[in-house]
Structure 1
């Protein structure tokens, strides 16, 4: 068996998988009053364990090559990490308007008070420092139960800063660099625990490209100092749940060029729903590409033939040893039957191309 980092066409999801309605109240993801979780406190961990086991099982049953814990225990992928960082107050919450330079998606207008709750942000009140790892126990659990290589995802410093109010640092770039140091420690803890892949989700690299042009590269290099486990950096257009449409943003290629000039080993690209074409992949340089071939904007199931066709075109730009079929951003809000059918189609479509290339198909991917 080839080492994981050299295996061609490794199938996987980005990070999150279905959060069942018996576990959470969808629409309450930005309510931090306890109303997000349905089970009572005394059985919540057991319910979360069961949901993680289900997420692992469905990824493996579909035939994916790399699995995650589905990010099941995370109410929100960025704020989840705040509890492990000193210098941030969860009690001092401020209304912070989120501003994005991204103009190629149309926000939904039927989300009620969701955005008002989204704006309520914890506050930086002192120097930022790593205190504990919210993700270590998650990683230990998935490693104990998964039969495939695992990926451990965390939030990126640019995105985390945008979800905080700042009463301490004089300049945003100082706070972001401090967060990069904190999250570097988080990556080191996960690396020491042992994982096949690390992933950093930092869509704000795309949302605020002007800032990324100024400090994106040094922030990424600080984030990756001393990390030898392969790291995937995920940059997307945001959750389809919150957008009525997405179209190609002309700034997206520049984000990929920026990543290609850093020491990150791989980039995870949102590709299917915006309708990107293979020309985009020329910006990836010699990096590995995790390619989103499954869209989240509808419940329609992609056909294996569609996925195979998109993959064939991408292979004209990126060789199979550096191209890995994946999903667009976030599956947590999809119905379980839809999500399961989508990842099954991803594996079947990849197998079509594997056969055409004469590549071995893993036993777990044959159904």
Structure 2
């Protein structure tokens, strides 16, 4: 797109209360059957409307049609048993009840393609769709079949590539892979995680993005971040590998974090989707704060490669807070855009 400093929501937006319980991850649906299908579409329409009304340039579905960014994809696959659940440690951070791989995993039909086609019908602006990355998928499961994280990741990478190619055919402009596991399992990222991600994007003509975050603004994540010391340098492990990869856009947390801004230098040449609003606070950023966060990055990324975004998904936030943060994001980007161009925005 031609807009300087375009804006985007990096992940989820809160669902309306008539669709799911507010401010809760993995919230069960409040509707079922045909009413649920209709309710999801209405929520997606509302998410598009709010993004456009608040000045967001790259439109997403806000994850309105899925309960969770990983498990909703997995539940459509053959070989995964959602009845036979086990409790596992997610990203070495918190325990969760997850489904179990009991046979060969297989995608028997498209998962999000119909929803993406519906999103495409709602706007002529660029649209972005998020998929879980292969390493994060295997970290959100119990495996009783492959007995190899690497082998299962490669299976998922092939499945994700199938889905991504059909999303591209449905008109998706940017396909984003969410890989928070890249901030935890550094040896695996080097050994096979990056290669698995490359397999997932193989042959795509749409722009590709990877989102490596420090997580939703939930207690387990904020507690973990409190243990990371005065500087968070996890990105130094994956960014050199990403700089050499075929991924087009790298998404990272920045505002209200302890991530040294100079880590962006490690992905010089890539587009950068920079988190300029915090998802772990109910405080609404001032446009000047957003502009300041974005401005600091310009030493390490050209302005025409910078995308303003949220740090992570906002599903756990109150809906009015999340939407106000979108308004702040676009207002802050507009301030810096005006500063850079010297023109009225």
Change (3 A) 1:27 1:9: closer
Matches within 5 A, 1:149-228: 149-228=126-205
**What residue in structure 2 maps to residue 98 of structure 1?**
90
Structure 1 residues 359 and 229: CA distance shift in structure 2, 3 A: farther
Contact 1:308–1:350 (Cα < 8 Å) also in 2: yes
**Paired position in structure 2 for 1:17:** 13
**Kept in 2: contact 1:12–1:66 (CA 8 A):** yes
Q: Secondary structure at the match of 1:286?
A: coil
Report the alpha carbon displacement of residue 85 of structure 1 after superposing the two structures with TM: 2.0
Structure 1 partner of 2:81 = 89
Deviation at 1:184, TM superposition (A): 0.9
1:19–1:333 contact (8 Å) kept in structure 2: no
Q: Which moved more, 1:21-30 or 1:204-213?
A: 21-30
- Give the CA deviation at 1:98: 2.8
Q: CA RMSD in A?
A: 2.0
Question: What residue ranges of structure 2 are gaps of 5+ in the alignment?
Answer: none
CA distance in structure 2 between the aligned counterparts of 1:83 and 1:97, rounded to whole angstroms: 19
Rounded Cα–Cα distance in structure 2 between residues aligned with 1:59 and 1:351? 15
Cα 1:319–1:148 change in 2 (3 A) is same
Task: Return the offset for 1:144.
Answer: 1.0
What is the CA deviation profile of residues 157-177 of structure 1, one whole-angstrom value per residue up to 9, with x for unaligned ones?
101111111111132111111
Task: Map 1:1-367; keep pairs closer than 5 Å.
Answer: 4=1, 7-26=3-22, 29-30=25-26, 36-100=28-92, 115=95, 119-242=96-219, 243-245=221-223, 246=225, 248-358=231-341
**Deviation at residue 218 of structure 1 after TM alignment:** 1.3
The two structures have a TM-score, normalised by structure 1, of 0.87
Q: Is the 8 A contact 2:213 2:312 kept in 1?
A: yes
Q: Encode CA deviations 1:42-73: one digit per residue, 9 max, x unaligned.
A: 42222222211111111000111111111011
Structure 2 vs 1, CA of residues 223 and 359 (structure 1 numbering), >3 Å: closer, same or farther? farther
Q: How far has the Cα of 1:310 moved from its partner?
A: 1.6
Aligned equivalents of 2:294, 2:77: Cα separation in 1: 40
Shift of 1:219: 1.0
**Hey, what's the Cα distance between the residues in 2 that align with 1:314 and 1:235?**
17
Superimposed CA distance per residue, residues 235-255 of structure 1 (whole angstroms, 9 cap, x where no aligned partner): 001111233453542222222
8 Å contact from structure 1 (residues 273, 328) kept in 2 = no
Partner Cα distance (2:263, 2:174) in 1: 24
**Deviation sequence 1:231-289 (CA, Å, 0-9, x none):** 01000011112334535422222222221121111111011132334212111121110
Distance change >3 Å, CA 277–CA 170, structure 1 → 2:
closer
CA distance in 2, matches of 1:179, 1:70: 23
Q: Which moved more, 1:40-49 or 1:164-173?
A: 40-49
Flag the 1:74–1:353 CA change in 2: closer, same or farther, 3 A.
same
Q: Which residue of 2 aligns with 1:110?
A: none
Unaligned runs of 5+ in 1: 108-114
Deviation at 1:99? 4.5
Cα offset, 1:229, TM superposition: 0.7
Deviation, 1:345, is 1.0
Rounded to whole Å, the distance in 2 between the matches of 1:180 and 1:318 is 29
Distance 2:304 2:13 in 1: 26
CA contact (8 A) 2:233 2:260 kept: no
